[in-house]
Amino acid sequence: MFTRILLILTIALGLSSCGRTTKFLAYEGPEITSIVVNKGARRMYLMHDTNVMRSYDIRMGFAPEGHKQFEGDGKTPEGTYVINRRNPNSAYHLSLGISYPNAQDRAYAASQGRSPGGEIFIHGTPSIADSSIDWTAGCIAVSNAEIEEIYAMVPNGTPIFIYP
């Protein structure tokens, strides 16, 4: 009887480990040396030198054309930035911070008497978001499964090149 109970418990524990129980994945592949975003194509690429390691469909700010200049403009920044922080408790599953605004972004907004905004991230998607439209306030959104992979692969300090 004890052997049978032990067998049942072993099978149950084995089956429970089949499904992932954490959003924090491990990555042991080649170093991601940059991220390239093509806003027009709605694609993001994780690069190892000149090799594409992964690519993703993305959603952006609700008014994605052009460079983000002001808080609330709904645009996703364009230019060269860096992944500078991580949020494991993001309201959007997981998120990686983008170093917008830089000194040039702040100076331009100040010259217009406006705020450049900030808090731009690569993040997951809430269940209420329509994945077929651009819906963020200026961030780059992917699926929750994809942000788990990206979060594991991309270290802080990784440059991100965002092109029109």
Could you report the per-residue pLDDT of 87-101, keeping only the tens digit for each?
999 999 999 999 999
Q: pTM of the predicted model, to two decimals? A: 0.84
Checking if the pLDDT of 3 tops 90, the result is no
- Strands (DSSP E) found in 2-135: 34-38, 43-48, 51-57, 79-87, 95-98, 121-123
Architecture per CATH, 22-163:
Beta Barrel (2.40)
CA angle 134, 151, 95 (to 5 degrees): 50
Identify the pLDDT of residue 127.
73
Identify the pLDDT of residue 42.
96
Neighbours of 3 (CB within 10 A): 7
The average pLDDT across 134-152 equals: 95
| Bridge-based pairing state of the strands 95-98 and 79-87 | antiparallel
Cβ(143)–Cβ(124) under 8 Å?
Answer: yes
Distance CA 112, CA 3 (A): 76
